[in-house]
Amino acid sequence: PYPAYDVLRSTAPAFPALDGRWFVTTHALTSRLLRDPGLRVSDAADYDTFWPDWRDNRGVASIVESMLMTNPPDHTRIRRAAAATFTARRVAGLRDVITEQATELIEQMPERADFVTTFAYPLPIAVICALLGVPDADRTWFRRHAADLTVVLEPISTEEEMERADLAGRELEDYFTGLIAERQKSPREDLTSDLASADSGLTGAELLANLVLLLVAGFETTTNLLGTGTKLLLDHPAHADRLRADPEQAVAFVEETLRYDSPVQMATRTTGQVLDLGDGLELPTGTDLMLLLGSANRDPDRYPDPHRFDPDRPNIQPVSFGGGAHYCLGAPLARLEAQVAFPLLLTMLPHLAPAGEPVLRDRLVLRGYAELPVTWG
Ligand code: HEM
């Protein structure tokens, strides 16, 4: 999409698509709008007006009922409860789990393998299962259902995909209902126990929807970061050497990977009041905006020579995790996973090399590799 973004961005920071929605392309305007309290996300009330039966599709419903698609005051309350359970201490406590799981996956990787299937796909789900307290034995089941549900994050899906998402939503809701009941009876050291406790103040429906969201929001997004970063390491052996010699370099490498190929390419908002874009341009209330995060991250006004991959850029701070009230709750976890995984891969598999043509995922919002053939022999 990057050449297209360049053309759009050089035309204007914001302009209308044929269907009345507006694209936002620059870093400055995207960052500003992400934080603008006058903008809202589509929520259950909006869905009621254009799709009265949306609750019948439980895949869609679980995401629409989650914090991702909720506005204040409910968003503020739910987000606060979730943030109180998803603490820095809990994330730091997952470092050992990440290292253990990543080590196991690398040890089991065949000499010629698809990196996505053998590593980038299973690692995030293992980590989310540990976070939520889902037993190891249920991981494969979880992974399949999370994958089926993820299509609802895309603007366009087939009827068959929507049916599969509905089924996955139903089964995940049943699963979490059971898990919540267990944890309410005998709490453990996991996020489900904390979120399900009486003092989180969430309703039963909010609890379910947000547990499903945590699973879905942290899955393919992180898979894409791991796949893209590994592809960049294969393409730039000098960066791989640096990272192998000094694992601390992983921090900047991960930030630049997030900037260079944003795993989430777009966030959507709607104007809740008239939006003044300057130069006499005003958008009426109810205008839908598509904030092109992937374009903002390649804006030459913010990042000189934007199409060059360069972890030494000062002050990278990509908008890949969004910004403002809906800023990604899992950003510290996603970063940690990648910061642990890349140096580990490079030291355990010093001869890791490409073994065929990678295939990009055929999606608009979630960008990353569907296949990344590698060999380590
Ligand atoms: C929200 C990106 C990983 C949980 C978001 C948003 C973005 C994003 C762009 C904001 C959407 C918007 O403003 O409309 C990413 C990327 C990830 C990642 C690029 C990996 C590289 C994770 C992980 C988790 C997670 C690992 C949890 C386990 C969430 C949640 C929200 C969110 C709960 C909703 C926050 C809210 O609405 O207040 N993510 N995410 N994400 N993300 Fe992530």
The predicted-structure confidence for 157-200, as pLDDT tens digits, reads as follows 889 999 999 999 999 999 999 999 999 999 999 999 999 998 88
Nearest-angstrom CA–CA distance, 340 and 348: 12
- Tell me, in angstroms, the distance from the centre of ligand 1 to residue 281's CA: 31
Residue-by-residue DSSP string for 190-207 = SHHHHHHSGGG---HHHH
Specify the 3-state DSSP secondary structure of 375.
Answer: strand
The answer to whether residue 139 sits within a structural domain is: no
- The per-residue pLDDT for 198 is 80
Domain membership flag for residue 236:
yes
Q: Which residues pair with 359 in a beta bridge?
A: 371
C-alpha of residue 71 to centroid of ligand 1, in Å = 16
Res 118: pLDDT: 97
Q: Range of 121's domain?
A: 2-56+89-131+208-375
Domain-located, residue 201:
no
Ligand 1 centroid to residue 150 C-alpha, Å? 13
- In this structure, what CATH number is given to the domain that contains residue 123? 1.10.630.10
Which residue's C-alpha comes closest to atom 12 of ligand 1? Answer: 267
235 has a pLDDT exceeding 90: yes
Number of domains in the chain: 1
Residue 137 lies in a domain: no
Q: What is the mean pLDDT of residues 76-90?
A: 95
Question: Residue of the nearest CA to atom 37 in ligand 1?
Answer: 68
Beta strand 266-271 with 22-24: parallel, antiparallel or unpaired?
Answer: unpaired
pLDDT for residue 370: 94
Contact 212, 172 (CB under 8 A): yes
| Domain contains 165 | no
Q: Does 100 reside within a domain?
A: yes
Atom of ligand 1 nearest to the CA of 78: 38
373-375 and 112-114 as β-strands: parallel, antiparallel, unpaired? antiparallel
Q: Which atom of ligand 1 is nearest to the CA of 128?
A: 28
Cα 116 to ligand 1 centroid, rounded to whole Å = 20
0.95 surpassed by complex ipTM? yes
Give the containing element (helix H, strand E) for 373.
strand 373-375
Q: How far is the CA of 94 from the centre of ligand 1 (A)?
A: 18
pLDDT tier at 156, thresholds 50, 70, 90: confident
Question: Token digits for 178?
Answer: 């059971």
Q: What is the pLDDT of residues 313-336, one digit of tens each?
A: 999 999 999 999 999 999 999 999
Virtual torsion, Cα 176, 177, 183, 185, nearest 10 deg: -170
* CA neighbor of 303 nearest in space, from 293, 314, 294, 292: 314
Q: What is the CB < 6 Å shell around ligand 1? A: 67-68, 79, 128, 213-214, 217-218, 221-222, 225, 263-264, 267, 320-322, 326, 328-330, 333-334
**Alpha-carbon span 306 to 295, nearest angstrom:** 10
**pLDDT band at 273; cut points 50, 70, 90:** very high
Q: Which helix (H) or strand (E) holds 112?
A: strand 112-114
> Residue range 84-88: average pLDDT?
93
pLDDT at 269: 97
Domain membership of residue 41 (yes or no) is yes
Is 332 within the bounds of a domain? yes
Entry field: residues in the chain: 377
